């Protein structure tokens, strides 16, 4: 119909104008055909697309875009520090394969936060893994950064994490106190990862424990945990790391409790690098197939920080909301969010 109207309208026009209208008509016709013939996505493909949209928005953006997103999501600020909501998949420090990091955008974020005032600065106080989301502190001066780093180093900062685990930890709450060390995993794909280094082993008769010599390379690691809710073969777990060893929460969940964090493809297997293997029931509830499990992000979120008051000042508490992908997973698994945690 559009083509007929166009033909009638073109009567009396110059050849160049008729040619122009013909080109428009052809593009319109092809566009309709392309839209009509576009294949529909399967439910699994739709779910993968959703996961990508929820986790990859800020991984390859211009530094200004990342700085604006961090500024919009500020959790707390005073004269000495800022608390940001670190997105998934964004590295704290630069390095090979890192396009934009938190450290890269600190000068931009500092100016944005101070009305583009010259001389504004921000400094890192600690770090979170690239795949970890949540509350992260920045200091307005190097002196303040040093003070906060000392609080972290001496374990005076109270940290609370929420994870979504595959499986239900038994017992439902307790303290894991098992040292951790870095070790090479041999196999088809040799690589290094953190693992447990127990100081006790079960005796040969299975009736008691025998103390073994501690590995000099191991670091003391203690984590307090409690299960907040379980359903669909998964659990929402709250963890308080008492120490601060690399990948401590991930290792204690996977190897001490036997409940790997959802989306933790690194610690789902020991001797190979492969996507996390999930039970059929969990895959079904998440709307995925095993071949698409690699798209699941790590469900590890720094939800709360408390800094002790210094010099008569009150404690500083920072809460950070869960990312959308974490909430969607809870909803699909039918694990309710606790009213108070």
pTM of the model: 0.85
Helical packing angle, 324-333 and 43-55, nearest 10° = 150
Instruction: Note the pLDDT of residue 31.
Output: 62
- Render pLDDT for 116-135 as a digit per residue (tens, 0 to 9): 776 789 999 999 999 999 99
How confident is the model over 180-200, as pLDDT tens digits? 999 998 877 888 999 999 887
* 55 has a pLDDT exceeding 70: yes
Residues 310, 199: Cα–Cα separation, whole Å: 37
Segment (H or E) for 192:
strand 191-196
Catalytic residue list contains 104: no
Catalytic entry in 37, 104, 114, 129: 129
76 within 8 A of 318, measured Cβ to Cβ: yes
As given in the structure block, the two tokens for residue 61 are 């953006």
Write down the pLDDT at residue 16.
Answer: 67
Domains and CATH numbers, the chain: 56-154 (3.30.2350.10), 157-336 (3.30.2350.10)
pLDDT at 187: 77
Per the model's pLDDT, the better-predicted residue between 205 and 201 turns out to be 201
Q: Tell me: pLDDT of 4 over 50.
A: no
Predicted confidence (pLDDT) per residue in 227-270, tens digit: 999 999 999 999 999 999 999 999 999 999 999 999 999 999 98
pLDDT of 202 strictly over 90: no
């Amino acid at each position: 119909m559009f083509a007929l109207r166009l033909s009638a309208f073109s009567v009396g026009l110059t050849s160049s104008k008729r040619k122009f209208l013909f080109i428009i008509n052809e593009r319109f016709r092809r566009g309709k055909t392309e839209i009509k013939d576009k294949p529909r996505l399967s439910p699994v493909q739709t779910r993968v697309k959703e996961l990508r949209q929820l986790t990859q928005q800020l991984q390859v953006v211009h530094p200004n875009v990342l700085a604006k997103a961090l500024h919009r999501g500020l959790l707390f600020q005073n004269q000495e520090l800022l608390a940001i909501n670190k997105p998934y998949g964004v590295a704290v420090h630069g390095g090979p394969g890192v396009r934009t990091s938190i450290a890269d955008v600190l000068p931009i974020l500092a100016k944005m936060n101070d009305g583009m005032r010259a001389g504004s600065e921000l400094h890192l106080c600690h770090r979170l893994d690239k795949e970890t989301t949540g509350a992260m502190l920045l200091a307005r001066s190097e002196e303040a950064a040093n003070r906060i780093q000392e609080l972290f180093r001496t374990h005076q900062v109270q940290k609370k994490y929420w994870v979504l685990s595959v499986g239900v930890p038994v017992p439902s709450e307790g303290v894991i106190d098992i040292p951790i060390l870095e070790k090479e995993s041999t196999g088809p794909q040799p690589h290094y990862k953190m693992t447990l280094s127990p100081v006790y082993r079960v005796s040969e008769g299975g009736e008691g424990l025998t103390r073994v010599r501690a590995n000099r390379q191991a670091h003391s690691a203690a984590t307090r945990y409690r299960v907040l809710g379980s359903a669909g073969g998964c659990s929402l777990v709250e963890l308080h790391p008492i120490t601060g060893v690399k990948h401590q929460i991930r290792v204690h969940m996977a190897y001490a409790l036997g409940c790997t964090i959802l989306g933790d493809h690194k610690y789902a297997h020991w001797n190979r690098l492969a996507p996390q293997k999930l039970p059929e029931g969990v895959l079904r509830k998440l709307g995925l197939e095993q071949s698409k499990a690699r798209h699941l992000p790590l469900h590890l979120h720094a939800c709360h920080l408390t800094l002790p008051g210094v010099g008569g000042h009150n404690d500083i508490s920072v809460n950070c909301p869960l990312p959308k992908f974490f909430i969607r997973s809870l909803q699909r698994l039918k694990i309710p969010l606790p009213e108070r945690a």
